[in-house]
A = this chain, B = another copy of it.
Amino acid sequence: MIVLDGKKTAQDLKEEIKETVAAIKKSGKRAPHLAAVLVGNDGASLTYVGSKVRSCDYVGFDSTLIRLEESTTEEALLKQIAELNQNQDLDGYIVQLPLPKHIDEEKILLAIDPTKDVDGFHPSNFGRMALEMDAFIPATPFGIMELLERYKIETAGKHCVVVGRSHIVGRPISILLSQKGPAGNATVTLAHSRTQQLSELTKTADIIVMALGIPEFLTTSMVKEGVTIIDVGITRVADAAHPKGYVIKGDVAYAEVAQKAAAITPVPGGVGPMTIAMLLKNTLLAYQRKG
């Protein structure tokens, strides 16, 4: 059984990006530049954004953190976005979600210049991805594709079941796995909350991508011997015995499913660490596409 080590793979990727950036700087050019906009003081968002900024520093990117008050108006945020769109020295930026309730997230998303949308959430990027044009692919599905490719997991002609139809994970990964190209050409079934007899379906799968958000939902009786498991779930489950008061659980009952699987991502340390690495990769792509 192979553990698909996202932590190590993400680190490898960061080292590669770091080398590329060093070569860019050595040639006398400016470094790639990522900005992050954070509205308000949400604890988890602060942690995520902080981690993104530190990763930029690590690989040698320039980074800018723009912090706005919780009370920022939609109009003021749109003005900020217009400035970022016009900034020639900026390759890409993200607007950390969720936004305060009084701001329309869709309106903000649509205001982002798609060529700087390194989160890949703008419909123009989504459409370009689905139509196999150059695009920014959202970090989580992009990270899954990278993991499968680096571990040489055969996907062509395999039956892949994706569980969960979210816009940022289930839907895009179901598209990517069934396209031509590396880690593609799979026969993909997209399952979701309305799917009947899910375990009959997962039992036929060569590859299962769990993106449901229900801790330890997938159990050993639901999979066949030799399956490859990608677990996107990250849920905090209260645990008084743990110093933090909680433990992180994936959508897969890891201990039992791992015994039947040919390959599996752990949680934490699987898909999670790949996401920041892919954000860096998208920023580098944005830089390179500007020429």
Contact = CB atoms under 8 A, between A and B. Distances in A.
Interface string A124-139: 1111111111000000
B122 A106 contact: no
Interface string A117-160: 00000111111111111000000000000000000000011110
A191 interface: yes
A178 interface: yes
Contacts of A247: none
A132 B106 CA distance: 11
A45 to B, nearest CB: 22
Interface of A is mostly: mixed
A18 to B, nearest CB: 32
A45 B184 CA distance: 34
Contacts of A167: 130-132
Contact of A130 (B106, B130, B195, B196): B130
A203 interface: no
A265 to B, nearest CB: 23
Contacts of A126: 123, 126-127, 130-131
B201 A187 contact: yes
Given A123-B133, A126-B131, A127-B124, A178 B190 contact: yes
A128 B109 CA distance: 12
Given A123-B133, A130-B127, A196 B191 contact: no
21 contacts: A123-B127, A123-B128, A123-B130, A124-B124, A124-B127, A126-B126, A127-B129, A130-B171, A156-B194, A157-B194, A159-B196, A165-B178, A175-B175, A185-B192, A185-B194, A187-B190, A187-B191, A188-B189, A188-B190, A189-B189, A189-B190
